[in-house]
A and B are shown apart, each in its own frame.
Chain A
Amino acid sequence: MIGTRQLMLFVRTLFYSLGTGALVMIVGVFAASALWTFHQKKLTRLLKPLFILSCVMIFVPPYVHALAWADLFYRYGIEGFGASLWVMVMALLPMGLGFSLLGFYLVEDAMVEAGRTLNRDSAVMSAIILPIAMPAMLTGMIFAFLWTLHDFSVPSLFFVNIYSLEIFAKYSATNHPFEPFMLSLPMMLVATIMIVFISGFTKKLMMGLRKGQTRDALPLHMPFWFKCLQTIAIGILILQIAVPVISLIVKVATPSNIWLSILQARRELGFTLVLSTLTATLSVIVALFLARKVIGMEKRSRLLIWVCILLPLAIPAPLVGIGLVTLFSQPGLGLIYGTIWMPVLANMIRFAPLAFITMSVQLKRMDQSLLDSVSVFQKNQMHGFINVYFPMVLPGITAAFMVVFILTTGELGATLLVSPPGRSTLTMRIYNYMHYGSSQMIAGLCLTMLALSLSAGLIVYRLFRKTGGDQ
């Protein structure tokens, strides 16, 4: 079923995705270690806002980064896989950084200090801190790998063919679901293995969030080469934020251009807002229901359910769209075909697992004794739910909502196939403009997208801080 050309493409895509994942992890580890080892120094105060901003950049769609870097690359003749890989690293760097920070903060202070009393700080780093933090770092790498494996928006802008684009192209050419499905199998197999591999410790990591290092601990003394790599990693973080912001502002030229581009894309903007709100609301309801059920289960079945819920992340975006089109174009099932519910469903399949993770973390972090005490003092169940349970779970609900909302606004692979006729999202419009339209218009829309994404990211960060996850 898969020809030699497609096999070669698959292998190339694997290397491309692995390379992106590995680079994301390496830069993330060195940057995160800087914040962690400089602990207590004044430099930390400068670094912390940079890190927060860098982490919330995860909500900025990769094509915004692509647009920002493209001019620079074209000027210096950089193209192909190299350019695409660099842009994906920039877009996914928050994953490497976030998971590495998570890993570092999961290492107990006493374990580090016990090591420091016995051996050099560099030995403590290599023999104790990094191995303990490694599962979190690998999780970040695998998430970046999976994302890259599925995303064709960036490679296509740099005229690079990758496997997920091949699936999309195959469907466009044949309009038949069987061949794209068969083509997707090796990709889904690899992604499933990765998801099963990380499921166990993803759950543990998310639940293990705690307060960070002892306040006045002396910074770790690391070798000169290590400090150099930390500095380079921080430099890359600055580029990751500065290049999109500055380049888009320069391209837009005047504030009125932003307004003009928003006006011209108001139909798409409206459709995107409705689509994202519906998807996020329904995803949160499903995620809350599932998270509550799963938390009460015994350990073995909990892990199994956890794997099953994360599995949709292994399905390539175009295949989600193709599957839905095939299913709902069958006689008797056409009720939602050609309506907004098709992209809602597609985005729910893709992003509800992330809402589930967010809700599970929130529920797990709730103080059980508070819930026990409300069952004693409440007038009735509704009274307890409204006054205690709901306010406690609200930050998680809002965070999960924002995550799904923003990811839906940026989704392309599945939405492109299932959008109702005559309707398109902001991302679809930007994507089309990128191939045919004016630069100022794209920049204006991308800047709007960037502002939306960063605001949502900061809200999620604030909410999680509020519920005790200071790190």
Chain B
Amino acid sequence: MNQSSVLLKVSRLNKSYEKRKILENISLEVMSGESVVLMGPSGSGKTTLFRLITGLELPDSGEIYLENRLVSSPKISIPPFQRNLGVVFQSPALWPHMDVLSNILFATQKKDTPAGIHEFVDLVIDEMEIRPLLKAYPSRLSGGEARRVSIARALASRPRLMLMDEPLTNLDSTLKDKMLEMIKRVTQEFETTLIYITHDDTEARYVSDKCYRLNNGVLTLESTGF
């Protein structure tokens, strides 16, 4: 894929909950290989935008395109798992009845899983430094380990686009720094485009090429190239 091609295009997106406008006419373009940060205070609509891009919700109006393919509109919704996204939620959301390896391999059990995915998963496991944890169950993991596993799970299907919704919430500052470094390293190494949602300035500066601010449902470009 061309480095400068548009990977994600969000066009005039609107979303309301019970007559309360959450997103208003949002338009956004993310180029392939970019790391983009979405910032904004609590309740500004960041998570709603994240959920619309992942396909977990439908917009009231507007469209979302991934690699020029319409994936979301009020009438069209390509299921989340067919969008080839890597998604990291605010909580690690690891499945408690599966060990770490099974959590990671769940993404590779789809019908259209590309060949060679298991070698890639092996690489991800090493990069995220979780090999000793593969047989452990989520209840045994520390906060930092659980986050690393959840990022590894998101990367395992070799996604075109990684979406992270405040993935470092509730971690102490030392662990946060280490995780930020790791996120930056793996996204660069695996040439993954990243959309990172946070309300923390430091995190934003560390990971992003471009920073958008969402306020009262309106998106503005704040800066490029931190």
Contact = CB atoms under 8 A, between A and B. Distances in A.
A462 interface: no
B206 interface: no
Interface in A106-137: 108, 110-111, 113-121, 123, 127-128, 131-132
B173 interface: no
A362 to B, nearest CB: 26
Nearest to B52: A216
A119 B93 contact: no
Interface string A69-95: 000000000000000000000000000
B195 to A, nearest CB: 13
Interface string B89-107: 1110111111000000011
B95 A128 contact: yes
Contacts of A131: 95, 97
A118 B93 contact: no
B157 A111 contact: no
Interface in B60-95: 77, 79-81, 83, 85-87, 89-91, 93-95
Contacts of B107: 118-119
Contacts of B51: 214, 216
A336 B89 CA distance: 62
B35 interface: no
B81 A132 contact: no
Interface in A16-41: none
Given A114-B87, A114-B153, A120 B81 contact: yes
A68 to B, nearest CB: 40
B89 A114 contact: yes
Contacts of B81: 116-120
B198 interface: no
B157 A218 contact: no
B17 A110 contact: no
B93 A117 contact: no
A215 interface: yes
Contacts of A116: 56, 79-81
B146 to A, nearest CB: 12
Nearest to A130: B97
A123 B95 CA distance: 13
Contact of A110 (B85, B91, B96): B91
B135 interface: no
A118 B97 contact: no
Contact of A113 (B58, B93, B157): B93
B56 A217 contact: yes
B197 to A, nearest CB: 14
A220 to B, nearest CB: 10
Specify which of B86, B90, B97, B157 lies most central, judged by the most chain A CB atoms within 10 Å of its CB: B97
B101 to A, nearest CB: 14
Interface in A345-401: none
A117 to B, nearest CB: 4
Contacts of A266: none
A131 B17 CA distance: 32
Contacts of B89: 110, 113-114
Interface string B25-60: 000000000000000000000000001001111100
25 contacts: A111-B94, A113-B54, A113-B80, A114-B93, A116-B56, A116-B80, A117-B85, A117-B87, A118-B110, A119-B81, A119-B107, A119-B109, A120-B81, A120-B110, A121-B79, A123-B109, A123-B110, A127-B106, A131-B97, A132-B96, A132-B97, A214-B51, A214-B56, A218-B55, A221-B79
Interface of A: 108, 110-111, 113-121, 123, 127-128, 131-132, 214-218, 221
